[in-house]
Chain A
Amino acid sequence: KAGVTQTPRYLIKTRGQQVTLSCSPISGHRSVSWYQQTPGQGLQFLFEYFSETQRNKGNFPGRFSGRQFSNSRSEMNVSTLELGDSALYLCASSHGLAGGLAYNEQFFGPGTRLTVL
């Protein structure tokens, strides 16, 4: 079974620009979560999508947004980029079925390394 894929793997942008990152979950998984990883803050949760609906949201400003398509693929967008947005953005997929034993099991992609200059 193919794993989680993320594109692009690397991005360089300048302040004020916007960026869109893409994630394709494991086949059959309906939940996609996004995390930001930085050396100082570690792994921080951005949001989770399940069946095209945002199910959970972390403490990030409104410049960070996402969506999920009917095939479970997800995109996240960051507008008006700031230097502090430089990070590794990770996508994780899971079955996401409430009450199921596999509910929480999340599998990560390789990440997109975003550098903001």
Chain B
Amino acid sequence: GENVEQHPSTLSVQEGDSAVIKCTYSDSASNYFPWYKQELGKGPQLIIDIRSNVGEKKDQRIAVTLNKTAKHFSLHITETQPEDSAVYFCAASNRTPLVFGKGTRLSVIA
């Protein structure tokens, strides 16, 4: 089955700097790669996703890139703000349930 590895597990950045979180997956049939943000006491919130027919997708300060050959995808957050502090999860799937990475705790220091 699918296996998703996520790095780093924790990440601290200064406000205004960029943050990058990376994930690798094992199943070459996976074609959908969402990113979720989870704040304390809340469920995961879908923030951006990418499908295998696209290499990059951007939404304001967040962007996701996908390299299907290498089987990895990354989340980029620019101009980080304190409200970006949360746990971020990547996931992968192919018409199957989402398989999640273990999460990255991002702390943005003001």
Identify the A interface with B (CB < 8 A): 4, 6, 33, 42-43, 45, 48, 56, 58, 90, 92, 98, 101, 103-111
Contacts and interface: CB of A to CB of B under 8 A. Distances in A.
A103 B43 contact: no
Given A105-B46, A105-B49, A108-B44, A43 B89 contact: yes
Contact of B97 (A4, A42, A58, A108): A58
Contact of A110 (B42, B96, B98): B42
Nearest to A59: B1
Interface residues of B, number: 22
Interface of B: 32, 34, 36, 41-46, 49, 51, 89, 93, 95-103
A45 B99 CA distance: 8
Contacts of B51: 101
A90 B43 contact: yes
A45 B97 contact: yes
A56 B96 contact: yes
A110 B99 CA distance: 19
18 contacts: A42-B100, A42-B102, A43-B44, A45-B97, A56-B96, A90-B43, A103-B32, A104-B34, A105-B34, A106-B34, A106-B98, A108-B36, A108-B44, A108-B45, A109-B43, A110-B41, A111-B42, A111-B43
